[in-house]
Structure 1
Amino acid sequence: MIDMLNQLLTEHFPDYSDSAWIILSVAVCVIAVVADLVARSTISQLMKQAEKTKILWDDVFLNSFSRPALFLIWLAAGYWLIQLFEQNFAIEVLGEDNPLPKLVPVILLAWSCLRFLKRLEQVLVMPDRMKKPMDPTTVGALGRLLRLIVSIIIVLIIMQSYGYSISGILAFGGIGGIAVGFAAKDLLANFFGGLMIYLDRPFKVGDWIRSPDQQIEGTVEDIGWRQTRIRTFDKRPLYVPNSTFTNISVENPSRMTNRRIYEYIGVRYDDSAQVLEVIKAVKAMLRMHPEIDQQQTLIVNLDRFGPSSLDFFIYTFTKTTDWIRFHEIKQDVMMQIMQIVEEKGAEFAFPTTTVHLSGELPELVKESEGN
């Protein structure tokens, strides 16, 4: 490029002065500006066309490689300006043995790959772009792992280009890994605990989880490589090391299929004749209730003789799993049970105590009252 401009300048201006390198520098800058404008216009047109298609990869590819391509134009312009500076002032800036010019395409390619992985990670979880969006937790984990691999590879390539022995580094890494493993066993335990969460997927971001073994309950906000952030129901953040989940039981209520109504109702012993009618009416009401899942277990039976009541229980499941809606349905069921008990001429039992007096005590009470 520079030699061509020099040749053209020599042919048309044979008496040009030593300051002609300024003209060449301006020409390089003008070419870079024109190339940048043309590239931006081309990319913009391609992006508009890509948005109209149903193909997933075209706009992801353009988004990923557009900015590195524009950056490459100005890198090339900067490289040519450095060559002009070296030729005019006889000063070596880069040098013939400098590997940086050869590494620039590799670095730009790695940058493009990192942008591609990041953009793809965003697209794969979009319901408007994917027929079956992938799990955000799994996609995020795989994206982090792939970006880490690309970063390590580019660092090793750069080190090799500058004369560092990769084999020695890898050997040192193998030996040092044992020492690091002992020194950072908790860190590694958390890392592999996070890996197991990503692979087994007992929960994902947005799930409500709790542990009967520890006081852990809330909504999962983030699953990192070292710890998981849980927002408790009082809106406090709870940070749990990932290794904890390998040693405790975790319940995921977010994946329940139904919510259960399990309640005891007690009526008076004086209403024993109406108990069977009440139970039949309650069971019929539950059978007809539109929010009760008839495919699940439904039980209404007299269960026990309480201290002051005849207790029967209801055991059934709602169709919804929403917490607020569930309580609305439960309230409606309990209100209808109250109405049924009243319609059948029975009453709810209250805790009562009956005292039986025997012997001469009643006579003494009467005498005391007479006096």
Structure 2
Amino acid sequence: MTGTNQPTFGLDNVSMLQGTLMGHPLWQYLASFIWILLSFMLAYVVDWLMTHVLRRLTAKTETDLDDKLLEILHKPVKLIVCLVVLSVGIHVFAWPDWVEKIISVLFSIMVAGTVVYVAMRMVDLLLGFVETRFLSGDTQLATMMLPVLGKTIKVFVVIIGVLTTAQYLGLPITSVLAGLGVGGVAVALAAQNTLANLFGSITILTDRPFRVGDRIQIEKYDGVVEQIGLRSTRIRTLEGHLVVIPNKIVADSAINNVSMRPNIRETFSLSLTYDTPAERVQEAVNILKEIFAAHPMTHDVIVFWKTYAAASLDIFVVYWCKTRDYREFARALQEINLEIKRRFDAAGLEFAFPTQTIYLRQENT
């Protein structure tokens, strides 16, 4: 008699197989051997179908995603088919209850482990597809965000796999979850700064207020971003100092991304002496307009006589330089200043400097 009335291929009716070995009829051994052989044969057939028939179909598609998916699945599916058939055949024997329990647990763990392995491989496949399809031009986000996301998803996959298997095996997962909840609260309290920095890095990498190489102003610091890590962001200040700022602070702070400005705006004043006639002041304004109109890097220029200062007549200039790069701006600024000096010298226009006129009054005694 079999343990669970499994098919015995009619061997239990063969008289010559009614003898016993270690307390079990001979036909049970032969039936179990046939089940084992059948499991391997069926697994081989499934594997052949996936590696030959399905592979020909996937080869006709334009994407290689289905090819990679088939590569991931064919061995685990082969193993699961083999395990399922073996689990049926192994019950030909009338095992004691404790043996049945062990066999059931082992097969459940192997199947669950295989499913979890497939899920983790598919996570890698999915993230690889996302990187190739959507993040091919953003190496910073791809190299930092995707590994963290992949590990996080895999941890959840393992946890779900363990809990599902435990529930299937009848283990008291409610008490386990309660214990994990208490432990999770303790860990979260101990690592809240680390978690805050981690979520800060995720915010930076997804919102992207700046990238590596951008010049930013944050808090009291002004410099170029050298690295965006999982815990902190490194900035090289204009003075050459390396500043490490936790990502929690970066995510919560107002950030001025200097590199993202479309142009550089510049303002300055030119001071003429008080003895300059009005016509000559107008000439100075016209010279400045001509200089800026002729320079290829400037636009939206405003030049006007602004005010009577304490010791000078001040002409105010506002203009935009067509660049984001500070070195290019500095080069253009020097060219403009040199041309102003040449033109003003040629026109005989004198720059004012702070002066004081002192009147001496002599009283008769």
Which TM-score band applies after superposition, normalised by the shorter structure?
0.5 to 0.7
Q: 1:118 to 1:177 in 2, by over 3 A?
A: same
Q: Is the 8 A contact 1:261 1:330 kept in 2?
A: no
Question: Mind listing any 5+ residue stretches in structure 1 that lack a counterpart?
Answer: 1-27, 80-91, 128-133, 361-371
- Aligned match of 1:340: 343
Q: Give the CA deviation at 1:346.
A: 0.5
1:105 maps onto 2:105 in alignment? no
Query: Quick one: distance in 2 between partners of 1:219 and 1:303?
Result: 39
What is the aligned partner in structure 2 of residue 157 from structure 1?
161
Counterpart among 275, 283, 286 of residue 292 in structure 2? 286
Q: Which runs of 5+ in 2 are unaligned?
A: 1-39, 84-98
Q: Does 1:114 align with 2:120?
A: no
Secondary structure in 2 matching 1:239: strand
Per-residue CA distance 1:137-161 (angstroms, 9 max, x = gap): 4995476335412332223313543
- Encode CA deviations 1:8-52: one digit per residue, 9 max, x unaligned: xxxxxxxxxxxxxxxxxxxx9xxx9xx99x97xx99xx89x88xx
Report the CA distance between 1:277 and its aligned residue. Answer: 1.1
Greater alpha carbon shift after TM alignment, 191-200 vs 264-273: 191-200
Match of 2:19 in 1: none
1:221 partner SS: strand
The counterpart of 1:327, out of the listed 322, 326, 330, is: 330
1:288-367 equivalences under 5 Å are: 288-294=294-300, 298-352=301-355, 354-359=357-362
For 2:144 and 2:282, locate their aligned partners in 1 and report how far apart those are by CA, in whole Å. 58
* CA–CA distance in structure 1, aligned partners of residues 78 and 210 of structure 2: 47
* 1:250 corresponding residue in structure 2: 255
CA contact (8 A) 2:271 2:314 kept: yes
**C-alpha deviation, 1:302, in angstroms:** 2.4
- The whole-number CA distance in structure 2 between the counterparts of 1:177 and 1:96 is 31
**TM-aligned CA distance change 1:167 to 1:284, over 3 Å:** farther
Counterpart of 1:277 in structure 2 is 283
Assess, with a 3 A threshold, how the Cα gap between structure 1 residues 150 and 284 changes in structure 2: closer, same or farther: same
Residue 14 of structure 1: aligned partner: none
In structure 2, the CA distance between the partners of 1:258 and 1:147, relative to structure 1 (3 Å rule), is same
1:226-245 matches, within 5 Å, as 226-233=231-238, 237-245=242-250
Structure 1 residues 146 and 59, CA gap change in structure 2 (3 angstroms): same
Q: What's the CA shift for 1:349? A: 2.9
3-state SS of 1:197 partner: helix
TM-score by length of 2: 0.63
SS in structure 2 at match of 1:270 = coil
In structure 1, the residue corresponding to 2:223 is in which secondary structure? strand
1:186 corresponds in structure 2 to 193
Offset, 1:186? 2.6
Pairwise CA distance, 1:304? 3.6
Tell me, yes or no, if the aligned pair for 1:160 and 1:166 is still in contact at 8 Å.
no
Name the Cα RMSD after superposition.
4.7
User: Using the alignment, how far apart are the partners of 1:139 and 1:318 within structure 2?
Assistant: 35
Q: After superposition, give the CA deviation of every residue in 1:53-105 in whole Å (9 maximum; x if it has no partner).
A: 5xxxx235545x477469769989xx9xxxxxxxxxxxx9x966414431343
Q: State the secondary structure of the residue aligned to 1:172.
A: helix
- TM-score normalised to the size of structure 1? 0.62
Kept in 1: contact 2:266–2:320 (CA 8 A): yes
Any conservation in 2 of the 1:258–1:319 contact (CA below 8 Å)? yes
Q: Does 1:203 align with 2:207?
A: no
Shift of residue 318, structure 1, vs aligned partner: 1.6
For 1:200 and 1:125, the matched residues in 2 are separated by 14
Note if contact 2:225-2:233 (Cα within 8 Å) is conserved in structure 1.
no
Contact 1:267 1:311 in 2 (8 A): yes
1:126 to 133, 136, 140: 136
For the Cα contact (< 8 Å) 1:203–1:252, is it kept in 2? yes
